[in-house]
A = this chain, B = another copy of it.
Amino acid sequence: MKPTLTVSAVQQPCNEDRQTNLNFSIAKIEEAASANADLVVLPELHLGPYFCQNEDYNNFALAQPIPGPATEILATVAKRLKIVIVSTIFEKRAAGLYHNTAVIFDKDGSIAGKYRKMHIPDDPGFYEKYYFTPGDLGFKPIDTSIGKLGILVCWDQWFPEAARLMALAGAELLIYPTAIGWDPQDTPEEHQRQLDAWITIQRSHAVANGIPVISCNRIGFEQAPNSDAGINFWGNSFIAGPQGEILTNANATEVKLLTATLVSTRIEKVRQIWPYFRDRRIDAYQDLTRRFID
């Protein structure tokens, strides 16, 4: 990792007008670059509304190959601004084979790597198992000119295994593009518990692995098609340091470019003080590959 790394995340709404939406993202990337950011993260599937609120085969028309039209535009932006960009795209890999895929553009506009979302949710309002085949690229950090990036996507954030495997493979940063929100029918107390749990579990990955975490969520209410239901995307994007300490964050409704500066010597010192990798009981972890121990 660079000795000093400036990282950004764009908390934004993701609207129906896909061109306006993308232009908005690009304006924020330009703002990040003006602030000398090395890296900028966009929310999960930022090109448009979160289409997984129902199962509709017409939505497969939204998917794109990688490389494809969206990655060509973002590659140009990365090269022009000399900034690393983390985008997430509904990937068409083959007929009948689609993924939820993060694409990492390096500062020269090349695609440094891809990560295909490994853990796929399926909840009322989040019908992702219909659209996305679980990733088959494993938990491999992406080598870039600024360091090794451990990209994980949304539902992955609830699985400590994913964060650990990225860290064991040398990730120097964990990055979570995400699209998560509240069911307006739940109580305010349940909303608070869910939000706190989401912040807590992601901060814990920083703690457990001694590495910074960037979490980038969208904002805004999106109505489900032909339904009274919808999701109120809860924002609260944040950047945490290697002890899980919040360096910067956003509230539930604001558009915000979050930026923080990470210093590699401090990160290494934290990992010397709390040397968890030294003490992992790898002789006793075999059952982590079991579904359950009946």
Q: How many copies does the complex hold?
A: 2
> A170-184: contact bitstring with B at CB < 8 Å (1 yes, 0 no)?
100000000000000
Say yes or no: is A24 at the interface (Cβ < 8 Å to chain B).
Answer: no
Q: How far is the CA of A201 from the CA of B243 in the complex (A)?
A: 10
Say yes or no: is A200 at the interface (Cβ < 8 Å to chain B).
Answer: yes
Q: How far is the CA of A168 from the CA of B293 in the complex (A)?
A: 6
Q: A158-B207, A200-B200, A244-B196 are in contact. Are A288 and B288 (CB under 8 A)?
A: yes
Given contacts A138-B284, A139-B284, A285-B288, 8 further A-B contacts (CB under 8 A): A120-B279, A155-B279, A159-B279, A159-B280, A161-B281, A161-B288, A204-B208, A282-B289
Q: How far is the CA of A203 from the CA of B236 in the complex (A)?
A: 19
Say yes or no: is A81 at the interface (Cβ < 8 Å to chain B).
Answer: no
Q: How far is the CA of A164 from the CA of B204 in the complex (A)?
A: 14
Say yes or no: is A147 at the interface (Cβ < 8 Å to chain B).
Answer: no
> A193-213: contact bitstring with B at CB < 8 Å (1 yes, 0 no)?
110110011011001100000
Q: Which chain B residues lie closer than 8 Å to A134 at the CB level?
A: 281
- Contact with A277, one of B155, B243, B291 (Cβ below 8 angstroms): B291
Say yes or no: is A292 at the interface (Cβ < 8 Å to chain B).
Answer: yes
- Contact with A204, one of B160, B162, B284 (Cβ below 8 angstroms): B160
- Near B by CB (< 8 A), chain A positions 48-85 give none
Say yes or no: is A46 at the interface (Cβ < 8 Å to chain B).
Answer: no
Say yes or no: is A165 at the interface (Cβ < 8 Å to chain B).
Answer: yes
B158 engages A276 (CB within 8 Å): yes
The interface centre, meaning the residue of A158, A161, A194, A286 with most chain B CB atoms within 10 A of its CB, is: A161
Say yes or no: is A92 at the interface (Cβ < 8 Å to chain B).
Answer: no
Give min CB distance, A236 to chain B, whole Å. Answer: 15
Give min CB distance, A46 to chain B, whole Å. Answer: 23
- Near B by CB (< 8 A), chain A positions 101-147 give 118-121, 123, 134, 138-139
Q: How far is the CA of A159 from the CA of B204 in the complex (A)?
A: 10
Say yes or no: is A35 at the interface (Cβ < 8 Å to chain B).
Answer: no
Q: Which chain B residues lie closer than 8 Å to A27 at the CB level?
A: none
